[in-house]
Amino acid sequence: MLQFDPVQLPDSSHALRDEIRQFLAANMPSGHRPNSDFLSGHNPQFSELLGTHGYICMNIPVEYGGGGRSFFDRYVVAEELLAAGAPVSAHWFSDRQFAPVLMQIGTEQQRKKYLPDMCAGKSYFSIGMSEPNSGSDLAAIRTSATKVDGGWRVNGTKLWTTYAHLNHYMIALVRTAPVSENRHHGMSQLLIDLHDDSVDIRPIKNMGGDEDFNEVVFNDTYVPDEDVIGEIGNGWNQCTAELGYERSGSERFLSTFRVYIEFLKLFTDPPNDLQAAAIGRIASNIMALRRMSLSVVGMLEAGKMPSIEAALVKELGNNFEKIMPEIARLAAPLDADKTEFNRTYRESILLSPSTTLRGGTREILRGVIARGLGLR
């Protein structure tokens, strides 16, 4: 049975929230137009600045360059960065999932080698799961790694790899043994240097005309044994465990939050009943989703891997962030100057098809949730 225990943020988080708000007021890159989506801005200078101030990898131990703080502290900072529309894409995957993964299943050598730069906001990772003909059906991946002296030779193609053209490394799910009766066997995770000459990276334009995801081709790419993540053959379990980090955060319901802010700014007069209902409906949805998301953070803090609860947060969150701009548009005052509201609304329309695809589609998440409820 799914259970979302109530979680209160610790008192210390209020001071941290004030601190990060002040930091953002003083340090938002000049000319940056706020957008809540966590994939909206790849800005290494800003990531490094966050790293210098200790706002990246806050939950990683100090000895590896992290903040030695709790998952809750990381949550507060992430939430404020998203609400302010800060450009966080460069370090997002390192901070959200790969630094915790290295802490959990990485070797001591890997932690010492990779974590300090990740924590400093200088080292950026991509997620290497999807392939042509293998998105929802991840067990169908065909990228293979063959054992050679001292390491592995990787061949194959990854698809939709966010920011592979700008990031340093990919943690890739690959086949290290042929498909057997159990399709989830024989997969492993390798840490691959995206700057290696044998890796071809081709950006793909998204609907808005921007380049954020890529096709990545490995041509006999050599990966030393020391860059195997976790255990050979355990890649499927490792990947699915990671989803607790990947699917539960506030980025799964705040992608269109900026539209709400601009909507509220339109009200110079008190809202009428219809408008008040729209404001309340959006606020109550955000509050409920946030409560669930925080509950998952509580589970992560307790060392659990709540991938089913995380799937529920993502599924409800993505559906809400998709319809929210329309609720706002229908209730927006007619005579207000809507320049900024229209800009964020337009962006949200271009973004919205991707929210229920990236990180697992709606149908797949519903299947995971149904299994968690014992219905499948």
Ligand X SMILES: Cc1cc2nc3c(=O)[nH]c(=O)nc-3n(C[C@H](O)[C@H](O)[C@H](O)COP(=O)(O)OP(=O)(O)OC[C@H]3O[C@@H](n4cnc5c(N)ncnc54)[C@H](O)[C@@H]3O)c2cc1C
The answer to whether 369 and 310 are in contact (CB under 8 A) is no
- Please report how many Cα atoms fall inside a 13 Å half-sphere around the Cα of residue 53, on the Cβ side: 16
Nearest approach, Cβ of 172 to ligand X (angstroms)? 9
Q: By C-beta, is 113 or 362 nearer to ligand X?
A: 362
* Comparison of 275 and 355: residue with beta carbon closer to ligand X: 355
Q: How far is the CB of 359 from ligand X (least distance, A)?
A: 6
Structure tokens at 214: 């890529």
In 3-state terms, what secondary structure has residue 234? strand
What are the distances in angstroms from CA 241 to CA 127, 267, 304? 14, 44, 10
Structure tokens at 106: 């990485």
Report yes or no: 365 and 311 within 8 Å, Cβ to Cβ.
yes
**CB of residue 169 vs ligand X: minimum separation in angstroms?**
13
Residue-wise over 138-157: b if at least 16 C-beta within 10 A, else e? beebebbbeeeeebbbbbbb
Q: Which is nearer to ligand X, 82 or 279 (CB)?
A: 82
- Measured from the CB atom, the residue of 173 and 278 that comes closer to ligand X is 173
Alpha helix (H) residue ranges in the chain: 12-27, 44-52, 71-83, 89-93, 99-105, 108-119, 235-247, 257-265, 273-301, 307-331, 339-355, 362-372
Residue closer to ligand X, measured from CB, 279 or 312: 312
Residue closer to ligand X by CB (options 160, 320) is 160
CB of 74 to ligand X, least distance (A): 20
Closest-CB residue for ligand X?
135
Closer residue to ligand X, CB minimum distance, 319 or 361: 361
Please state the closest distance from residue 235 (CB atom) to ligand X, in A: 13
Nearer to ligand X, 139 or 364 (CB): 364
Least distance from C-beta 145 to ligand X, angstroms?
16
Q: How far is it, in rounded angstroms, from Cα 103 to Cα 171?
A: 14
Binding footprint of ligand X on the chain (CB under 6 A): 126-130, 135-136, 160-162, 213, 354, 357-358, 360-364
Q: How far is the CB of 116 from ligand X (least distance, A)?
A: 24
SS3 222: strand
In the complex, least distance from residue 347 CB atom to ligand X, rounded to whole angstroms: 14
Could you write out the three-class secondary structure of 137-202? CHHHCCCEEEEECCEEEEEEEEECCCCCCCCCEEEEEEECCCCCCCCCCCEEEEEEECCCCCEEEE
